[in-house]
Structure 1
Amino acid sequence: MTTCLLACSTSRESKEDKIGELPANPFVTHMYTADPSAHVWKDGRLYVYPSHDVNPPRGCDLMDQYHVFSTDDMVNWKDHGEILNSSQVSWGRPEGGFMWAPDCAYKNGKYYFYFPHPSGSNWNDTWQVGVAVSDKPDSGFEPVGYIKEITEHFAMIDPCVFVDTDGTPYFYYGGGGRCMGAKMKDDMIELAEPLRDMEGLTDFHEATWVHKRGEWYYLTYADNHTENGRGANRMHYAMSKSPLGPWDYKGILLLPTGCDTTHGSIVEYKGEWFLFYHNQALSNHGNLRSICVDRLYYNDNGTIKLVKQH
């Protein structure tokens, strides 16, 4: 079952239109979503894979399922429904929950969905990165296990999988002040080399995202910033000529959004660049977040301009 969040448009003309004014933020309002991972696949649509905050709120332990949303104009968004639940994860924490920020990648004619999930009741010491696979970007995902070469488990979350322009896949994850990455094998389930620390980042907390523009690779992440005694994460970035660094720290690209946390992704769509992130504008509650999008602009030297939240 799918849900149209605004007046859905499927005409060929709308697909060819350039992006005009963006919808009001947050752009998903019928449920609470966070940690958006945005991708453009071969069908020309833009897909967003967020986590799901459960209402009524208690805490991030209740996050238990994933939906996927897509658009062909950045205005009309379709909810394709639930694609994965912790009850499907045979190796996972027996109490469920803790389905945090995911990512998705395409290779070998298949879609690979990556999600952090604990394998034991002692959740923060047992994080794994699970993998589910489908022939479609919006349904049919079947869990196939987790990345067994991962040996760092404490507080290590937020997987990001980046497939370079030459087809080489790279895996990143991190938390608690540490960010790591490695080349993956072409099966998209195993690592091809040991994980290494990403060098050159300043005040890294979590929420790794890697994208490429021209000859530059960009790694964005959340910091440890606080305001008035509470979390108010900002989004930072670094640049490199290599997908595994070392990284050259550049600064802040997104100021606090009203949430304790920040987490986002950057994608090019129809010739423009966009930043996806979350705020708590709908609920005014840090455990009931909502995904947003704004345009992102680069300077002539490749650095990123501060994103204006609308």
Structure 2
Amino acid sequence: MYLSNSSRKVNVTRKEIKWSIVTIIVLFIGLLSNKTYAQGNPIIRDIYSADPSAHVWKDGRLYVYPSHDVAPPRGCDLMDKYHVYSTDDMVHWRDEGQILESSQVPWGRKEGGFMWAPDCAYKNGTYYYYFPHPSGTEWNKTWKIGVATSKYPAKDFKVQGYIKGLDPMIDPCVFVDDDGQAYFYYGGGGKCMGGKLKDNMMEIDGAMQPMQGLHDFHEASWVHKYKGMYYLSYSDNHDSSGHHNRMCYAVSKSPLGPWTYKGIYIDPTDSYTDHGSIVEYKGQWYAFYHTSVLSGNDWLRSVCVDKLYYNPDGTIKPVILTQDKSAKFDPDYNK
């Protein structure tokens, strides 16, 4: 049977429309089943999470590496089972799943728990995941900074060991400068230390040194770079409103200081603690932090994010914290 050109065009058009409709239906069903849409803060609602370290990797997605508050709350000793979250638009958040727990740490304390604020770095085709964990029952004196590696940003991490020669402290942060040199920071209890990492990303190159010039440092060090200047942000010891920390920052022309204190960029939230990170994504800067808005409990926290802006002189404007008033904890939120 012979069909005119016009008839063939009509048939092709109808076929294309049919498959377009099928595609739309499949995508719609997929969105409903994934439940990844988040409207406002907190951005993570399927587990309780804190201490967010945010990074943008070569695949164009932004990844958040938080700690995990385990319910029911008993304090920070139960924290365990690290998850990773990612987004490509700051609206749809995906739980990439669990990547590590205390039972997978060969040198870790037999009682488990105590998997506190982590960080992640990328160099030469490998992702390096840094996490604090004690090696003994006397946890406060046996902290080590473990290192797990993977060829992927959110799966297949395997513990390789820990950074040797460090004092027992927490909150690792790794900053990789524009020239590829990696720097390691950690601290706690009013002490912040920094130093260079060797190319293997698991050994300190030289000696660690105290970060000079910080005002009222408590913990949660984080380093980023903006217009050639280095910024070290951290939580302080503020205790005039129920012992709630503030997020402060200092600047330097060098990644290891000395630092010049510049002030507070996040006021106390409803949580006893705060711990954050600062990152640029698609031309916009963001401040990540945590609150207790979903639980009302200091040890069941939730990760949040808001936009961050700089003044013309490079100082950071106070971050305006937002909250979705209808937000509720949902263990199936990202399933």
Say yes or no: TM over 0.5.
yes
Residues 1-310 of structure 1: pairs in structure 2 closer than 5 A: 4-7=34-37, 23-150=39-166, 152-153=167-168, 156-228=169-241, 230-310=242-322
Deviation at 1:23, TM superposition (A): 3.3
Question: Taking every aligned residue pair, what percent have the same amino acid on both sides?
Answer: 65
How many corresponding residue pairs?
290
1:304 to 1:141, Cα distance in 2 relative to 1, 3 A: same
Distance 1:139 1:68 in 2: 9
- TM norm structure 2: 0.85
Deviation at 1:298, TM superposition (A): 0.3
8 Å CA contact 1:4, 1:76 repeated in 2 = no
Distance 2:140 2:75 in 1: 14
Distance 1:216 1:90 in 2: 39
1:5 to 1:233, Cα distance in 2 relative to 1, 3 A: farther
Q: Helix, strand or coil: the match of 1:277?
A: strand
Deviation at 1:33, TM superposition (A): 0.3
Distance 1:30 1:87 in 2: 22
1:78 to 1:290, Cα distance in 2 relative to 1, 3 A: same
Distance 1:284 1:49 in 2: 23
In terms of fraction of residues, the more helix-rich structure is 2
1:28 to 1:163, Cα distance in 2 relative to 1, 3 A: same
Q: Helix, strand or coil: the match of 1:227?
A: coil
Distance 1:190 1:141 in 2: 19
Q: Helix, strand or coil: the match of 1:87?
A: helix
Q: Which AA in structure 1 matches 2:108?
A: G
| CA-to-aligned-CA distance 1:108-134 (integer Å, 9 cap, x gap) | 100000000001100001110000000
Q: Which runs of 5+ in 2 are unaligned?
A: 1-32, 323-335
Deviation at 1:5, TM superposition (A): 4.6
Distance 1:70 1:149 in 2: 33
Runs of 4+ in 1 over 6 A off after TM superposition: none
Q: Helix, strand or coil: the match of 1:209?
A: strand
Q: Helix, strand or coil: the match of 1:239?
A: strand
| CA-to-aligned-CA distance 1:90-109 (integer Å, 9 cap, x gap) | 00111000000000000010
| CA-to-aligned-CA distance 1:214-240 (integer Å, 9 cap, x gap) | 110000000011134x32000000000
Distance 2:62 2:319 in 1: 20
Distance 1:103 1:25 in 2: 22
Q: Which AA in structure 1 matches 2:290?
A: H
8 Å CA contact 1:38, 1:48 repeated in 2 = yes
Q: Which AA in structure 2 matches 1:112?
A: Y
Distance 2:212 2:135 in 1: 29
Q: Which runs of 5+ in 1 are unaligned?
A: 8-21
| CA-to-aligned-CA distance 1:177-229 (integer Å, 9 cap, x gap) | 0000000001100010111000000000000000001110000000011134x
Distance 1:304 1:38 in 2: 18
Q: Which AA in structure 2 matches 1:91?
A: W
Q: Which AA in structure 2 matches 1:243?
A: P
8 Å CA contact 1:29, 1:290 repeated in 2 = yes
8 Å CA contact 1:110, 1:134 repeated in 2 = yes
- TM norm structure 1: 0.92
Q: Which AA in structure 2 matches 1:306?
A: P
8 Å CA contact 1:4, 1:77 repeated in 2 = no
